[in-house]
Amino acid sequence: MTESQTIQSSMVETRKFPPPARFASQAHINSPAEYQRMHRLSIDDPEGYWRETAKSFVWFEPFTRVLKWDPPHAQWFVGGKTNVAYNCLDVQIDRGHGERTAITWEGEPGDGVTLTYRQLRDRVGQCANALKSLGVKKGDIVTLYMPMVPELMIAMLACARIGAPHSIIFGGFSATAIADRVNDAKSRIIVTADGGWRRGSVVPLKQNVDEAVKSCPTVQHVLVLKRCENEIAWTSGRDHWWHELVDSQPAACPPERCDSEDLLFILYTSGTTGKPKGIMHTTGGYMVYTAHSAKYIFDLKPDDVYWCTADIGWVTGHSYITYGPLQNGVNVFMYEGAPNHPDWGRFWDIVQRHRVTIFYTAPTAIRSFMRQGDAIPAKYDMSSLRLLGSVGEPINPEAWMWYHTRIGGERCPIVDTWWQTETGGAMISPLPGCTTLKPGCATKPFFGVDVAVVDQSGKEQPANTGGFLVIRKPWPAMLRGIYGDMERYRNQYWTQVPGFYFTADACRRDEDGNFWLMGRVDDVINISGHRIGTAEVESALVSHPAVAEAAVVGVPHEIKGQALAAFVALKRGQTASDDLKKALLDHVTKEIGAIARPEQIRFSEALPKTRSGKIMRRLLKELASTGEVKGDTTTLEDFGVIASLRESDEG
Ligand code: PRX
């Protein structure tokens, strides 16, 4: 039996929500026929479609060819020279929109900043000049480890302006995780802050950087934003205050003429091995795809106040806080802190005060809000909202319905956008003015996206049969590789189903051509919409002196979607205890970050293995989810192991 034959879908969801007439009447695309016509065109003649689309961007030198496809290596808009920061900022100013608001930011303590497109461009210019003064040159990878403050967006755009690829590390990652990423990218400079506010406390970002840099021989400079005024250590010569270095720079900084295929950024994400992958995105294709998809999926209009609640440290924040929305000239709202600070009404209070029109979040957040009850959102006037979005994991129909009624007032379409760090932009999503929505369904492919549900041999599955989701044609925002490991790029994405890009997601296509995502088929777990490889957590656990062997699996979790369960075999002479459990949890937090902390830890003398020595994760999964093992155990080497795991305490 092939893997795909074992993928079964048991979800039956028949509710349908056509676009509200009021929304459709003002939407960029408002009829299914128009969507079908454009999608057909984009698939039958992708080069023609993208050539036409790329015309509305500023190219310093025109491209000579739309696509060069030498599988699995793609080049888009070949020979074109452009600059993404220029297209985000200067182009808006040249269109006469320099005085429009680009960013509205609110800090967790309640402080705020607004910047027009002109002000943002000037700040980006100053930061770019500061980076240059520290010796940053085109092609140097700059690491950013910052809170959700305007300066994070300014720093990333400054990098783009001078052609220095950024590598943004989510502020929740630990010193060890920073060091791994900085060393992989060989960064010479890190931009950080003294701290960031989270739930009323200071996250000690600079302290984590100081710790990391001890094992990062390449780092020469650390640029530090003063945000929380918490006490920090200082290394003179290496450390520089943002307000001293950046604020004194001239605003003018000519944009670098970047080649369409110059690296724009790398972003580390989890895979099936212990080592995170630096996903590479380049300039021209990413620029065009993020702007184009943001325009149509979020139906962006100049008056929109657009709020994506993601952290810029994840791909959602790259593509749909910074690059996509700014190129569309909207007012991007940014919030620094936690959704429940000072209480669970914070987000809705923001929507009310800032008259947010588009709100894009993750299912895990929606489930957390649901749990707090309907009375909280009901207290706020959210009539400004016109569109909602979801991303990061499949949204369960119950959460979808709650979002639709309690937040969207039954008037806002919901765009459930399926995509990945690797895809660069949303690939399957409703277009809100024309797609009939089904709760829990990401619906239809975006323009230029040729997706299919196939079995392992690449044969398309019939309607309503589960299989692997693959992408059959290259697309402009596709990853160009894994930094420093092109072999892994080929093996991971292009060899599983010959000839196609392998998403590692299970999926089914229904009788109306809608795609229903069913979760990952590899050892990557989606926790609160964040991707964690089980192998990474295993390698963190075995690096603890008490641990001989560890296996980590995903289990369903009411709020997070999935959580981690760890099975740990201790070294001889070690005894299981609550103290050891706590020590292991702290150790994982130190090695990776709090997001990777397992929900359960079970101890045993050994792990269940096949006779050939392979850990039987399927059994562990079953045990962690149900407390029992009823599945096939015929290949198990020693059944006693299961009995002892079952009896061991769960944490
Ligand atoms: O399993 C899919 C899930 O998130 C994975 C990608 O994770 P990451 O690279 O961290 O990017 C998340 C934000 C784009 C996918 O392989 N996923 C993402 N969006 C959805 C989803 N699963 C179902 N529905 C979605 N809308």
CATH number of the domain bearing residue 95? 3.40.50.12780
Does residue 515 lie within any of the structural domains?
no
Q: Residue 561 forms beta bridges with which residues?
A: 527, 557
User: Which CA distances in Å does 418 have to 318, 398, 427, 499?
Assistant: 15, 18, 6, 22
Going from the Cα of 392 to the center of ligand 1, the distance in angstroms, rounded, reads 4
Quick one: 498 and 614 in the same domain? no
Note whether 338 and 108 are within 8 A (CB). yes
Quick one: 93 and 181 in the same domain? yes
Residue matched to tokens 């967006």: 153
Does residue 519 lie within any of the structural domains?
no
Q: What is the pLDDT of residue 628?
A: 82
Does residue 522 lie within any of the structural domains?
no
Top mutation candidate among 9, 281, 393 for ligand 1, by most atoms within 8 Å of CB: 393
Quick one: 295 and 374 in the same domain? yes
- Among protein residues, the one with the nearest Cα to ligand 1's atom 26 is 418
Note whether 90 and 122 are within 8 A (CB). no
Distance CA 650, CA 482 (A): 37
Does residue 222 lie within any of the structural domains?
yes
Judge if the beta carbon of residue 370 lies within 6 A of ligand 1.
no
The segments of the chain whose pLDDT lies below 50 read 1-5, 649-651
Cβ neighbour number for residue 250 with a 10 Å cutoff: 9
Torsion angles phi and psi, residue 560, rounded to 5: -80, -10
Closest CA to 223 of 348, 333, 132: 132
517 CA: nearest ligand 1 atom: 23
Judge if the beta carbon of residue 392 lies within 6 A of ligand 1.
yes
Going from the Cα of 533 to the center of ligand 1, the distance in angstroms, rounded, reads 14
Give the dihedral of Cα atoms 324, 429, 491, 499; nearest 10 deg: -110
Does residue 179 lie within any of the structural domains?
yes
Quick one: 536 and 493 in the same domain? no
Q: What is the pLDDT of residue 9?
A: 66
Classify residue 120 as exposed, middle or buried by CB count within 10 Å of its CB (0-12, 13-18, 19+).
Answer: buried
Torsion angles phi and psi, residue 202, rounded to 5: -95, 125
Going from the Cα of 488 to the center of ligand 1, the distance in angstroms, rounded, reads 20
Does residue 369 lie within any of the structural domains?
yes
Quick one: 353 and 252 in the same domain? yes
Judge if the beta carbon of residue 166 lies within 6 A of ligand 1.
no
Distance CA 359, CA 332 (A): 11
Quick one: 174 and 292 in the same domain? yes
Q: What is the pLDDT of residue 2?
A: 40
Going from the Cα of 446 to the center of ligand 1, the distance in angstroms, rounded, reads 15
Quick one: 424 and 330 in the same domain? yes
Does residue 410 lie within any of the structural domains?
yes
Does residue 513 lie within any of the structural domains?
no
Distance CA 318, CA 75 (A): 21
CATH number at residue 625: 3.30.300.30
**Domain end call among 507, 540, 567:** 507
Residue matched to tokens 């009896």: 647
Going from the Cα of 91 to the center of ligand 1, the distance in angstroms, rounded, reads 31
Quick one: 494 and 605 in the same domain? no
**Domain end call among 453, 476, 507:** 507
Distance CA 533, CA 270 (A): 5
Q: Residue 358 forms beta bridges with which residues?
A: 306, 387
Q: Are strands 305-308 and 358-361 parallel, antiparallel or unpaired?
A: parallel
Provide the domain count of the chain.
Answer: 2
Which range marks the domain in which residue 631 is found? 528-647
Note whether 150 and 103 are within 8 A (CB). yes
442 CA: nearest ligand 1 atom: 26
Judge if the beta carbon of residue 334 lies within 6 A of ligand 1.
no
Quick one: 391 and 276 in the same domain? yes
Quick one: 503 and 534 in the same domain? no
Distance CA 231, CA 555 (A): 40
Residue 585 in tokens: 């949890």
524 CA: nearest ligand 1 atom: 1
Task: Let me know the angle formed at the C-alpha of 112 by 306 and 153, rounded to the nearest 5 degrees.
Answer: 60
Quick one: 558 and 501 in the same domain? no
Q: What is the pLDDT of residue 80?
A: 98
Q: What is the pLDDT of residue 12?
A: 75
Q: Which ranges in 355-498 belong to alpha helices (H)?
A: 363-372, 375-378, 397-402, 486-494
Quick one: 427 and 539 in the same domain? no
**Domain end call among 507, 538, 561:** 507
